[in-house]
Amino acid sequence: MSYLEQKKNIEVSKSITENKVLQPYEEDFITAKPRSLDEVKKKGLEFLYSDLIEKDIKYEFKTSLGNGQYISANNEASICLELSLSARDVFPKKIPDWTEHSQKCFDHLIIKYISDGLNEKVEKKKGKDYETDIYIHLEDKEDDALKIIGSRLHSIYQYRSEFKHVHYTDDKGYRRIKNLSNKKLNKIKSIIIDFYKESLTVFLPIYKNMFNSDVNITS
């Protein structure tokens, strides 16, 4: 069963639970739901990637990343799935956490591609390591595809930073804290997901071609 099919099944079970209309066979399905979600989280990276580009990627990243890095990336993806199985259904107040963990997840792939795929060293723009250095590295490329990837991920990081840095000084000179409304959070969420869809769609064939380790996903 594909990742998107698993997602649909789990969403159906969630809907049945919320509506509280249970038939005997539905009760059996609900009982199986936690196991299904746990199975999805075992390959949370692939599931999250598929969800964001709205297409089954039919690819496993473990071979290229190695066990340790894959576990780390997958743990970040699993946190995103715990917040919401579908990125487009993330509750407004959870968007900051979801954005942070999703970007930490995909950073593993970007760093793998630059350091081990391109065999390039990322320049320290301000004399020390910054997470944005890897996005700027791709933005500076002549290749349009890599520019898109770097630019979109850099923009996502800027929104992620905006979520964290909420202090400001008002027009009278007093320190205040910004209040991000649900409406604004939902608007930002749509932008972030669109940026992810665009960048990750472009990145997938580039990554697969570089490491040449794609496999068909059958479960």
β strands within 50-208, DSSP E: 167-169, 175-177
- 170, with CB counted inside 10 A (0-12, 13-18, 19+), is exposed
pLDDT tens sequence across 12-48:
655 544 554 545 544 554 455 445 677 788 899 999 9
Number of helices and strands (H, E) in the chain? 9, 2
Counting residues of the chain whose pLDDT is more than 90, the rounded percentage is: 62
pLDDT tens sequence across 77-127:
999 999 998 999 999 999 999 999 999 999 999 999 999 999 999 988 777
pLDDT of residue 39: 79
At 31, is the secondary structure helix, strand, or coil? helix
Q: For residues 134-144, give the mean pLDDT.
A: 96
Q: What is the pTM of this model?
A: 0.80
